[in-house]
Structure 1
Amino acid sequence: MSLLQLSDLTKNFDGLRAVDGFSLDIPDGSLNALVGPNGCGKSTLFNLITGVLKPDAGQVIFRGREITGWPPHRIARLGIGRKFQVPAIFEEMTVRENLTVAAKRSGNRVSIDHILEQIRLADRWDLSGGELAHGQKQWLEIGLLLAQAPSLILLDEPTAGMTGAETRATADLIRTINQDQGITVLVIEHDMGFIEYLSCPLHVMSKGKILKSGSFAEIRNDAEVKALYFGNTAVPADA
């Protein structure tokens, strides 16, 4: 059963077609990754899903209900949460206070202690957001989404600026959120090592639309993907 259906979404900017008839079904409870070169329309797509931008054509359907062009606050209330590339946390507040505020704003009853354990910050609950390392700030922002009890999470480059160990831990965190809590997750990422570790369906975006979909191995070995996304070169194992 589809949780999110994107049908023929199109968005133009001054004659440039950033998203070009994009269509994709995201099954309820699934984990999917979307990759593609810079400028292919990935972030614009997230803006269309979350209501930051209105499409010129096409539909966004969530749980069978069309939400195309709805304002962001209404879409968020439906249970769609988004993490941006740069962490947006309250740096002057403690980790626990950050999570408590997020839960109160959304009106959801969640276990802050459980979220702290999930995001690996249980022993740093009393530190201010500003005292956290970069990767920990990324995890805290994921925790802010969990505090809102979403059914769909959109993650825009969640491992940007992370160390290798933090990247692997983030992949574990995302898989746990998906598998143990049944939260549907759609990830945008450039780090192919991270994508491989996620071990989920992969969709390659090029020029505003889906080029290919498949497993990591299928995409990695696809000649067209290598030519148009990876520069016609083999993808290194630790890319």
Structure 2
Amino acid sequence: MSSLRTAGLTKSFGGVRAVDDVTVEIAEGRINGLIGPNGSGKTTFFNLVTGLIRPDEGRVLYRDRDITRYAPHRIAHVGLGRTFQLCRVFPRMTVMENMLVAVRRTRLRELLAGTHATGEVERARHWLTRMGIEHLERAEARNLSYGQQKLLELAAVFMGDPELVLLDEPAGGVNPALIERIVTLVRDLNAEGRTFLVVEHNMDMVMGMCDHVIVLDRGAPIAEGPPSAVRADPRVLEAYLGV
């Protein structure tokens, strides 16, 4: 079953097609990779899928529902979550506050007053524990290491209980031990039924973790398939690896 499909998705900036007639399918239940050289359109593709920008042409379908014109919060509500290439947290809020503000049912006024549902706090602690940062719940986010902020951002995404999670360079700027922890988390969560689409420049991570890989070059897909086939594809070697 298809979790996400795009049909003819196109977006131009200043006459340059950042995403060029992209038709791809993300199968449910898999860990999918999206790779390509810098400027190949990967983050623009994420922004189109999650409603941060509107396409010039084409459609985005999630479980056969056309979400092309949905606002970002509505897309999150139907079951898509995402992280960002540059980690996004509220630096002057505590870790727990960051978790609770991620839940749309929690109003900012209630958050500041400390009047929030007990169930939401328990759920937040569950995800902080899954990420291994439960001991930091009272710390301000600005005092966390960059890797800990990455884990906080990921934990906050799961407060929305997404079925499809888009990860934009989860290994960027973190140490090998944390990369291995992220890989383990993704595999465990995938085994529990969540689908992933991962943009990443760390080829070893992508090829070792993903079931299916899509390659973009100059905004358009040039290859897709299992990691072993993609790694050996001459078009990928030329476009992505430069050989």
Kindly report which structure 2 residues correspond to 1:1-239, keeping only aligned pairs within 5 A, or say none.
1-103=1-103, 105=105, 111-180=123-192, 182-232=193-243
Whole-Å separation in 2 of the counterparts to 1:62 and 1:188: 19
Cα offset, 1:71, TM superposition = 2.1
Q: Deviations over 1:192-219 (max 9, x none)?
A: 1211231421111112111111222222
Query: CA, structure 1 residues 4+199, in 2 after alignment: closer, same or farther (shift >3 Å)?
Result: closer
CA contact (8 A) 2:32 2:210 kept: no
Whole-Å separation in 1 of the counterparts to 2:135 and 2:212: 34
TM-score relative to the length of structure 1: 0.90
User: Which ranges of structure 1 fall in alignment gaps of 5 or more residues?
Assistant: 233-239
Q: Deviations over 1:142-180 (max 9, x none)?
A: 001001111221111111101111111111112222222
User: Equivalent pairs: percent with the same residue?
Assistant: 39
SS at match of 2:92: coil
Query: CA, structure 1 residues 75+199, in 2 after alignment: closer, same or farther (shift >3 Å)?
Result: closer
Could you tell me which amino acid in structure 2 is paired with residue 162 of structure 1?
V
User: Which ranges of structure 2 fall in alignment gaps of 5 or more residues?
Assistant: 108-116
Cα offset, 1:104, TM superposition = 5.1
Whole-Å separation in 2 of the counterparts to 1:114 and 1:230: 40
Cα offset, 1:70, TM superposition = 2.1
Whole-Å separation in 1 of the counterparts to 2:146 and 2:232: 33
Query: CA, structure 1 residues 90+105, in 2 after alignment: closer, same or farther (shift >3 Å)?
Result: farther
CA contact (8 A) 2:79 2:164 kept: yes
Whole-Å separation in 2 of the counterparts to 1:106 and 1:126: 18
Query: CA, structure 1 residues 194+105, in 2 after alignment: closer, same or farther (shift >3 Å)?
Result: farther
Whole-Å separation in 1 of the counterparts to 2:141 and 2:168: 20
- Of residues 65-74 and 223-232 in structure 1, the stretch that sits farther from structure 2 once superposed is 65-74
Structure 1 segments, 4+ long, off by >6 Å, are: none
CA contact (8 A) 2:100 2:106 kept: no
Whole-Å separation in 2 of the counterparts to 1:199 and 1:40: 20
What is the number of equivalent residue pairs in this alignment? 231
CA contact (8 A) 1:94 1:125 kept: yes
Cα offset, 1:67, TM superposition = 1.3
Cα offset, 1:24, TM superposition = 1.0
**Alpha-carbon RMSD:** 1.9
Cα offset, 1:48, TM superposition = 1.0
